[in-house]
Structure 1
Amino acid sequence: MTTKNTAGPLAGIKVLELGTLIAGPFCARMLAEFGAEVIKVESPDGGDPIRKWRVLKDGTSLWWSVQSRNKKSLTLNMKHAQGREIARKLALEADLIIENYRPGVLEKWELGYEQLKAVDASTIMVRLSGFGQTGPMKDLPGFGAIGESMGGLRYVSGHADRPPVRVGVSIGDSVAALHGVIGAMMALRHRDATGGKRKGEGQMVDVALYESVFNLMESLVPEFDHAGVVRERTGGSLPGIVPSNTYTTRDGENIVIAGNGDAIFKRLMLAMGRIDMAGNPELERNDGRVRHTQMIDDAIQAWCETQDIDSALTVLKAADVPAGKIYSVRDMMTDPQFLARDMFEQHQFADGTPVKLPAVSPKLSATPGHTKWIGPSLGQHNDEILQSLGYTAQAIAAMKQDGVL
């Protein structure tokens, strides 16, 4: 029987987060969810701008409660020499530094990777930026939307006869954050294998948003290089893999049906009553079906128009054909699969108001992640963190008076 370690697999790892909005903070959030101590540095003048994004409660974003859960908030005025001095002390104590400023900003503050490495060769810094730390575009502002566009995702998203569309979340930033987590874990593994903290070899993890998106683009490059094929927008279908598309049932619901495996396709056609198509040798393999994509999609759509969403899903489930309704958050909150997997956590705001948050993913059997507290108030952990660095209560009060905190 496996005994769960509630401290998390990253217990004992100290992370300094120097960043705002999405990519860097999401990267640090995942580390915090699995036990790392994450100290988030914020400007005393309002903190991370994401505190005011989208839907607010009592002036603070509901998004903040997720994006900064388990983090400690420290306010530092980085324009003040003492603020930079404190940040430097924390950086040299940390196992990981995560930052997403434009290249060069940390160097001006004497917090750049090379500057810290000169003091401690085991320094690991995860740097997330629009275009990376090198190249002709490195100094340009690079938000997730730009990374999605340059990395190829926007070009292939939407319908062929309309302009490209965006995914409904900040996918470019989030994908970059996940690359940052992966890079951080590999860098920690290398540091530990070469001597551990203070003795092992640190490194810089250079994550560019556009490259993180580009990394998802499947066969895009070899198809163009070898065959001159430019992947285009195809709406809800998956080009070259048939059938895999979104269809509409008679009650107006959208259903995704992925019948692209050879055996699955045959089961799908039989479930639809299309024995003629199930037995058609031209449709037996994917390359043959690709030549008849429109005919197949038309047949599936015609069948869907005879079914409501529940009956269609029942038929397809019985035939072992992958299919699913397109969920809104309202669907998720009552879905038996989400509930069985404990995908929602109940928490409270400071005033006692209840709030549900998404549960931590991925699920580890022995060292699962968990939420210790939701996003903190601005500067909530100032005294705790500064006292751990040796500052007295009088010194902390003076720094507050001087505008350092």
Structure 2
Amino acid sequence: MADKAAQGPLSGIRVIDLTSVVFGPYATQIMADMGAEVIKVEPPAGDNTRWITAGPAPGMGGIYVNVNRGKRGVMLDLRQDGDRETLRRLIATADVFIHSMRGSAIAKLGFGYEAVRALRPDIVYTNCYGYSRRGPESDKPAYDDTIQAECGIPHVQGLMNGEPGYVATIMADKVAGLHALYATMMALFHRERTGGRGKGEGQEVEVTMFEAMSSFMLVEHANGAMFSPPTTPAHYHRAVEHNRRPYRTSDGYVAALVYNDKHWSAFMAAIGPSWASEEFSTLEKRAQQIGRVYELLGETFLTRTTQEWLDILGALHIPCARLQSTDALFDNAQLNAIGFFEEVETPQGQVRMPGVPTWFSATPGKVRGPAPMLGQDNQTVLAELESVAPAMVSESK
């Protein structure tokens, strides 16, 4: 049991990772946290995220360091025959091959699914694309901003705020990364059920930012547009109500959701606002005039301090929170009590990593080390290949 706990639930799984930026690397970062051996393959220029945020050394920006932690790093120039052969030899030892190149680009290099499957028949091969190959935009480039725009996020932000806007996080990359993670794990589970490593059925998996985010957005925003004929426009009216925002108090702000009938009755009994009436007595009635409800609550929250509201709402078991900055997360009592942050020694010094947000009683995950410098593991990985993967026939033959 102790051995399993040290290794994680994906111990023994080898992942060849040709992804870059955040979409794919976020998926493979979680695989590494859970014990998989992830070999990150980068071109000579390196992953772009090495350079886009501040870090303690050139090429070690914060985003790169976070989403590539615990991986081994190999630099290969796939325009060169010898480096393509090295990649083929790595693939022959792998359980998962995952990439984020466009379909035409990966095929041109000779690493489309059929070519990779010929090297390792039971491999799980995960494509991370902007748009599905089955549609007319199959080879269209995609970034988080463009996917947010196309799946409707700025539109619904505009319904709320009066002007379209992106949400202030790279949501599309991270949501798609989680889809890539679970899809790859499902394919590995299928392989295990059909015989396991070497005998089970591998397969090709496609995960796309646009389709993943469209599914994500339409969970609530499909609303009445799902029906025939449609009963409402495709948005959830409470989510886009312009008065839906943190409540201003007499000295700051508080987030609270006085929403269901139990919470509403408790709030009305405790506060007794002058506007309380049968007009707002049920969730159905409040939902039909949610803007007015938010407006009246907003006026009421101005009458007390933030701490007073936190005390009142906490005693009533009504969901509430003080507004915090992202900096404040590093000092959050809940996160620190559970040991969420992990201190990792790196060549650039100590790094306080956001930890693993899931918990396993037998095989917990953990941050397994720093992100690799560009090409830092070339020698050791190539030396290992000499013993586990014999040289293959070169492309020229």
Give 1:26 deviation, angstroms: 0.9
- Corresponding residue of 2:311: 314
Structure 2: stretches of 5+ with no match in the other structure: 392-397
Can you list the C-alpha shifts for 1:141-200, whole angstroms capped at 9, x where unaligned? 011222222223332225545332222221101111100110011100111111112221
Name the aligned partner's letter for residue 153 of structure 1. I
Q: For residues 350 and 384 of structure 2, what CA distance do their matches in structure 1 show? A: 32
- What SS is found at the alignment partner of 2:259? coil
Counterpart of 2:27, as a letter, is: C
- Contact 1:75–1:379 at 8 Å: present in 2 too? yes
> 2:157–2:240: 8 Å Cα contact kept in structure 1?
no
Contact 1:160/1:233, CA 8 A, preserved across alignment: no
Name 1:120's counterpart in structure 2: 120
> What aligned pairs does 1:298-309 form with structure 2 within 5 A after superposition?
298-309=295-306
What displacement does 1:238 show?
Answer: 2.5
Q: Which residue of 2 aligns with 1:144?
A: 144
Alignment match, 2:215:
215
- Measured after TM superposition, the shift of residue 228 of structure 1 is 4.3
Residues 244, 257 of structure 1: 8 Å contact kept: no
Write the deviation string for residues 100-149 of structure 1: whole angstroms up to 9, x where unpaired. Answer: 11112111111111222244331211111100222110111011222222
Which contiguous aligned blocks of 4+ residues in structure 1 show a shift greater than 4 angstroms?
1-4
State the 1:275 CA deviation.
Answer: 7.1
State the distance in 1 between where 2:310 and 2:39 align.
47
Residue in structure 2 matched with residue 375 of structure 1 by the alignment: 371
Deviations 1:47-96, CA, capped at 9 Å, x for gaps? 11100112222222022221111100001011101111111221222101
Give the aligned partner of residue 292 of structure 2.
295
The answer to whether the Cα contact below 8 Å between 1:267 and 1:320 also exists between their aligned partners in 2 is no
Q: Secondary structure at the match of 2:251?
A: coil
1:366 and 2:366 are equivalent in the alignment: no
Question: Are positions 1:169 and 2:179 aligned together?
Answer: no
Give the partner amino acid of 2:278.
Answer: P
Query: Any unmatched runs of 5+ in structure 1?
Result: 396-405
Q: 3-state SS of the aligned residue for 2:375? A: coil
- 1:17 deviation in Å? 0.3
Residue identity over aligned pairs, in percent, reads: 28
Identify the residue that residue 264 of structure 2 maps to in structure 1.
265
Contact 2:156 2:240 in 1 (8 A): no
Residues 272-296 of structure 1, C-alpha deviation per residue, up to 9 Å, x if partnerless?
A: 322762xx33323222112332332
* 2:336 maps to 1:333: no
Does the 8 Å CA contact 2:15/2:38 hold for their aligned counterparts? Answer: yes
Task: Show the counterpart of 1:348.
Answer: 345
CA contact (8 A) 2:124 2:188 kept: yes
CA contact (8 A) 1:191 1:202 kept: yes
Kindly tell me the number of residue pairs found equivalent between the two proteins.
385
Judging changes above 3 Å, is the alpha-carbon distance between structure 1 residues 293 and 211 closer, same or farther for their aligned structure 2 residues?
same
Q: Report how far residue 341 of structure 1 moved.
A: 1.9
Query: What is the distance in 1 between the residues matched to 2:126 and 2:257?
Result: 38
C-alpha contact 1:34 1:368 (8 A) present in aligned 2? yes
What TM-score does the superposition give when structure 1 sets the normalisation length? 0.88
Cα deviation per residue 1:189-245 (whole Å; 9 max; x = unaligned)? 1111111122211111111101111121214335114234224597xx5359xx965
1:197-236 superposed matches below 5 A? 197-216=197-216, 217-221=218-222, 223-226=224-227, 227-232=230-235
CA distance in 1, matches of 2:2, 2:301: 46
8 Å contact kept, 2:75–2:378:
yes
Say if 1:325 and 1:231 are closer, same or farther in 2 by CA, change over 3 A: farther
1:386 maps to 382
Q: Secondary structure at the match of 1:57?
A: coil
Q: Report deviation, 1:384.
A: 1.0
**Structure 1 residues 319 and 222 mapped into 2: Cα distance closer, same or farther (>3 Å)?**
closer
* AA aligned opposite 1:75: M
RMSD: 2.5
Q: 1:366 to 1:40 in 2, by over 3 A?
A: same
TM-superposed deviation, 1:379: 1.0
TM-score (ref. length: structure 2): 0.90
Task: State the alpha-carbon separation in 1 of the partners of residues 331 and 249 from structure 2.
Answer: 21
For residues 138 and 102 of structure 2, the distance between their equivalents in structure 1, rounded to whole angstroms, comes to: 8
Distance in 1 (CA, whole Å) between partners of 2:259 and 2:308 is 21
CA distance in 2, matches of 1:328, 1:127: 35
Contact 1:360–1:371 at 8 Å: present in 2 too?
A: yes
Residue 261 (structure 2) pairs with residue 246 (structure 1): no
Q: 1:44 to 1:349 in 2, by over 3 A?
A: same
